[in-house]
Amino acid sequence: MDWKYLLTSFDGRINRGKFWAGIGVFIVIGIIAFILDAILGTRVTTASGAQIGIIGILFALASIYFAIALYAKRWHDRNKSGWWTLIGFVPVIGGIWLLVELGILEGTRGANQYGSDPLA
């Protein structure tokens, strides 16, 4: 599996290792965006005094699509629809649910309706 498929396709299944690798890619690119904002001086001060980096904002907006694609494939490995990603909108428990289901629990063994076992 290549990174393009991992971050752009909503089809198929991925295991926990590939899921965490994708999350790692988001973290590394986010850190790079933060550093670029600091070096290039592309930070904007908000009315509340907080500083927001323009490159960081652009990365965050672009990563929404990629994160949803990653989550959908991981939900598929759990034999659930990618629409379960919306559970993240439930305050407090939604984030915990996502972490447990996608990052901790094992996927369905063997083939399911979304494809073959990624560990097989």
Q: Please compute the mean of the pLDDT values over residues 66-89 and round it to a whole number.
A: 94
Q: Is 52 helix (H, G, I), strand (E, B) or coil?
A: strand
User: What is the model's pTM?
Assistant: 0.86
Token pair, residue 8, equals: 């752009």
* pLDDT digit string, tens, across residues 34-56: 999 999 999 988 888 888 899 99
Whether the pLDDT of residue 101 is over 90: the answer is: yes
Instruction: Report residue 2's pLDDT band, with 50, 70 and 90 as the boundaries.
Output: low
pLDDT on residue 3: 59
Whether the pLDDT of residue 5 is over 90: the answer is: no
Check residues 54 and 1 and name the one with the higher pLDDT: 54
pLDDT on residue 56: 93
Instruction: Report residue 1's pLDDT band, with 50, 70 and 90 as the boundaries.
Output: low
Cα–Cα distance, 111 to 3 (Å, whole number): 22
Torsion over CA: 5, 6, 11, 17 (sign): positive
